[in-house]
Structure 1
Amino acid sequence: MRDTSELIAAVERFADRLRAAPQSRLQRGAAAEGLALARELAVRAQRAEDPDREPRTMPDAGVFMVADQLAVAGNDLAEILRTAPAGSGEGELDEAVALVREAAERAGL
């Protein structure tokens, strides 16, 4: 089993910053960054779990829900990667951590 604690920590840190951000900052793009990341992590999780099924798109539940959506998508991906067979999805974990950090930086959080 892989250690996914770095991914979980990065996702939780970004989600916490989104939760603490004022509405004006969320509306100026931070929420959009969070949603885009949540959608990407959700697609990656779905593809890893069932590669033959077309991934579903996470809906936009509004600027105040994006932090929770990010946390769910990130934790889902972390769990799937943690329990994946050895050798599968090589590099996926590092890529996901980098995506989270880059999105947080773009969001200014």
Structure 2
Amino acid sequence: MTPQPTADDLHAAVDRLSDRLRALPESTLRRGAAEAAFALARELADRARRLERPAPPPAEFPAAGIYAVGDQLAVAGHDLAEALRAAPEGPATGRELAAALELVRDHRC
């Protein structure tokens, strides 16, 4: 039986992806890697905000440029991992964690 994913798994996956993004050359970042990673960071940030404050519409996650996208992804992913740790345990939280982990693990840069 496969163990259930945890927020620590999400945290580690985000760290690995962020490190890969930070190591990419500028040309790769400019050819779309930064834009795709920023879209993922925005999605993770929106998921964290919905967990923490479901009523108000989420604020837009600001773009800080191609050289900051690795850091932005790390911040958004770590925020989501913390929001999931604080959320009540249950099937919905487990599904949210699994979905976020899949997004991060499936991202190609």
TM above 0.5: yes
Unaligned runs of 5+ in 1: none
Give, in whole Å, the separation in 2 of the partners of 1:85 and 1:53.
20
Residue of 15, 21, 25 corresponding to 1:22:
25
- Residues 86-101 of structure 1: matches in 2 within 5 Å? 86-87=89-90, 88-101=92-105
After TM superposition, what 4+ stretches of structure 1 lie above 3 angstroms from structure 2? none
Q: Does 1:5 align with 2:41?
A: no
Alignment partner of 1:51: what SS?
A: coil
Alignment RMSD: 1.3
Q: 1:68: Cα distance to partner?
A: 0.6
Alignment partner of 1:91: what SS?
A: helix
Unaligned runs of 5+ in 2: none
Alignment partner of 1:86: what SS?
A: coil
Deviations 1:49-79 (A, max 9, x none): 0100110111111000111110000000000
Identity within the alignment, %: 54
Give, in whole Å, the separation in 2 of the partners of 1:28 and 1:53.
35
Partner of 1:50: 53
TM-score between the two structures when normalised by the length of structure 2: 0.90
How many residues align? The count is 104
